[in-house]
Amino acid sequence: MSTTLLQELQGELRRLYIAGSDLAAEDFRLKRLEPKLAQLGERAPVFKRLAEGVAALAGPADPEVRAVRLQDVSLLLNSVLSTQGVTAAEGQVRKEKEKDSEMPELMTIYSYRQLTEVQNALSESGGGRYEIVTSAYEQGLFCDLRLFPFAMKALGDSYSEIADFAARNILPSYGRAIVPHLLSELDMQGGREEERRLQVVRELGVDPEDDRSLELLVRAAEEGADKIRSAAIACLGPYPGYETRLLEWSQDKKKAVREGAYRALAVCNSEAARQRLYDSFKGKNAMLAAEAIGYAPATEMIDMLLPLFVERLRKEGAGEEDKKGKEKQWNELEPFLIAFKNAHHSKLGQLYLDLAGNPSEYPALGRLSEWERRRVLIQAAAYLENMDTDEALAVLKHLEEQNPIYLQYAFRATKRRLTPAELYDQYVGSGWGRLKTLVTKKSQETQMALLDTLKEELYVYKGYIRSRLPQERIEVEWDRRWLDWLIERENLQLVSALAVPGNPKLLPYIEQAVENANNHDGPYIFAALDAGGFDVEIKYNLLLKWMEKKDWKRTYSMYYEESERLLQAPDHMAAESADRLEALLKDIKYDGLKVNLEEIIHTLRRRAASI
């Protein structure tokens, strides 16, 4: 579609920025554009949102509200323009282009104030940006359409952790609808940013009917820089029509090209693809083939590799006890661990049972270093944990007794089979678990392993967001004695995870935690207060103490959750709270943070005056 209308709207919005948003009221130019946008909105929801925004901007409103509406419409318009690319002439709309301009099903539900901090973090440099971006993602702010172009831009962020987070978490959450946008802007001679684009494309997949995107992938596979070629080739595995090309690329002189081809062949999983991977696995490209299989471990491929793995494990020594010989031994076994990392196969389970229970039957295992042997047994334990059989649990318990590093696997397998009280009694109710001060090195290592395991159990991922288990599950699935045990060990993160109402030790512990906490402990402290069912006044007083304990000279921003909690002051505390917060302003270094806190203070004073 033509961008003429959008560019006209952009010009009108620029005029209002210069002249003042007040002039938007009943503006005839805006009213002339609104029905045209509404007509386009019948085909694309984003234009309907633009039409509604323009109508609201020209309608009755207070000056402050109208200024915010101007910002919202401008942000939405810029988001749409940044995703359009080259457009067809008026009246010559191509179906392919219409498909490209479809946007993910996003909304514009957040306030400009909530989005500004994220937009600034993804447009500027400096410290503290990663925390702002990840926090915004956890809060769901990237579901707002206006942050979509910033998420795309983040792939090239100068701070690699932000760019990688965008590729791994933010962009995949939008779904396959963004793939045409990613490919249409692909620089085939580019660098790491373009690799990340293709990483997202590979995860989401291209619509098989999207010929234009597939053509762009093939072109990148043929003409791109080496790493771009590799990443583009890896995306072609799900499409059988490219099998011949993939087999050719798998024998390319360039390692990067072979790597991409192996990854695609593992997904392709045809007979010819499996044979090529098997031959490569036995040769010099074993690690490349293993990594490809590990990403997409087909049952038929595992069938081919298992006999070879057993053969190498049972191989008797041939006097190769020197460093070079041991290194060769490990190089022969490590590719199997990589290939089987995500595999599920009945014969693999039986092998791991025997390997962990009867290691002497596999001579090659005994010739490995301690670290290498653990690598093998840890992978076996992780697999056995999910088998959920008596035989598997017995082997895991045996491993746990040998070394605490296997405790996490035995713990999770045990938890499936015992009541909450029985689980507590088995791991804590007797022996070293009762002691606050541990004497032996092994008992200390065992307790640390248990604490680490509890963290993994109590903070789980929902999609890409890690959060505390729901309160109802905590109260049903975990014995209440865990909370006392963790308070004694002063583990704030786990106390927060297992907090429940009615524990007399909980509030004194949290009060002390507020005194000693650092800036990152806030979420745990206030999650524990919520779960403990404490009075709102108690919670708010502790929140104010928490704010007063912060080092504001080194604080870049305020978490959205902190802002929301501050605005929830009981009416009779509003005036006092505003005074205490105002005293903090003198120490704040960053203007954005100061403005945020001033808005909260202003809101609290208005509420106090209205009572």
pLDDT in tens, 369-406: 899 999 999 999 999 999 989 999 999 999 999 999 99
pLDDT at 439 over 70: no
What is the CB-side half-sphere exposure of residue 119 using CA atoms within 13 A? 20
Measured CA to CA, the distance from residue 46 to residue 63 in angstroms comes to 26
Structure tokens at 279: 């031959």
Give the list of residues 6+ apart from residue 523 with CB closer than 8 angstroms, or none: 496, 559, 561
CA 124 → CA 40, 119, 159, 196, distances in Å? 34, 9, 11, 20
Give the per-residue pLDDT at 203: 95
* Choice between 577 and 115, residue whose per-residue pLDDT is larger: 577
pLDDT at 126 over 90: no
Question: Using one digit for the tens of pLDDT, what is the confidence trace for 486-533?
Answer: 999 999 999 999 999 999 999 999 999 999 877 788 889 999 999 999
**Terminal C-alpha separation, the chain:** 54
Give the per-residue pLDDT at 91: 37
Above pLDDT 70, what percent of the chain? 90
Task: Return phi, psi of residue 462, to 5°.
Answer: -115, 100
**Length reported for the chain:** 611
Measured CA to CA, the distance from residue 426 to residue 345 in angstroms comes to 31
Give the per-residue pLDDT at 19: 63
Question: Using one digit for the tens of pLDDT, what is the confidence trace for 332-355?
Answer: 999 999 999 999 999 999 999 999
Work out the mean pLDDT of the chain and round it to a whole number: 87
Domain definitions of the chain by residue range: 4-100, 175-296, 299-412, 496-610
CA 150 → CA 115, 121, 123, 495, distances in Å? 11, 10, 8, 37
pLDDT at 543 over 70: yes
β-bridge partners, 424: none
Task: Give the confidence band of 181 by pLDDT, cuts at 50, 70, 90.
Answer: confident
Q: Is the pTM of this model over 0.85?
A: no
Task: Give the confidence band of 225 by pLDDT, cuts at 50, 70, 90.
Answer: very high
Question: Using one digit for the tens of pLDDT, what is the confidence trace for 259-282?
Answer: 999 999 999 999 999 999 999 999
Q: Strands (DSSP E) along 392-464, which ranges?
A: 459-462
- What residue type is 37 in one-letter code? L
Measured CA to CA, the distance from residue 145 to residue 307 in angstroms comes to 52
Task: Give the confidence band of 184 by pLDDT, cuts at 50, 70, 90.
Answer: confident
Give the per-residue pLDDT at 486: 96
Task: Give the confidence band of 100 by pLDDT, cuts at 50, 70, 90.
Answer: very low
pLDDT at 323 over 90: no
β-bridge partners, 255: none
Query: Among residues 537, 464, 484, which one has the least CA distance to residue 173?
Result: 464
Give the per-residue pLDDT at 556: 80
What's the average model confidence in pLDDT over 471-500? Answer: 96
Measured CA to CA, the distance from residue 183 to residue 96 in angstroms comes to 13
Question: Using one digit for the tens of pLDDT, what is the confidence trace for 60-82?
Answer: 877 777 777 887 888 788 777 76
CATH number for domain 175-296, candidates 1.25.10.10, 3.40.50.12160, 3.10.300.10, 1.10.1060.10: 1.25.10.10
* Choice between 62 and 190, residue whose per-residue pLDDT is larger: 190
Task: Return phi, psi of residue 389, to 5°.
Answer: -125, 160
Task: Return phi, psi of residue 4, to 5°.
Answer: -55, -45
Rg of the Cα atoms in the chain: 30
pLDDT at 482 over 60: yes
Helix (H) or strand (E) holding 461: strand 459-462
Measured CA to CA, the distance from residue 339 to residue 336 in angstroms comes to 5
Torsion of CA 436, 438, 443, 444, to 10 degrees: 90
Task: Return phi, psi of residue 144, to 5°.
Answer: -80, 130
pLDDT at 241 over 80: yes
Give the per-residue pLDDT at 551: 86
Strand pairing of 465-468 and 459-462? antiparallel
What's the average model confidence in pLDDT over 222-231? Answer: 95
Above pLDDT 90, what percent of the chain? 61
Query: Among residues 526, 532, 561, 560, which one has the least CA distance to residue 545?
Result: 526
pLDDT at 197 over 60: yes
Task: Give the confidence band of 361 by pLDDT, cuts at 50, 70, 90.
Answer: very high
Measured CA to CA, the distance from residue 327 to residue 319 in angstroms comes to 13
Instruction: Name the percent of the chain in helix, strand, coil, to the closest 5.
Output: 70, 0, 25
CA 427 → CA 278, 482, 496, distances in Å? 44, 10, 20
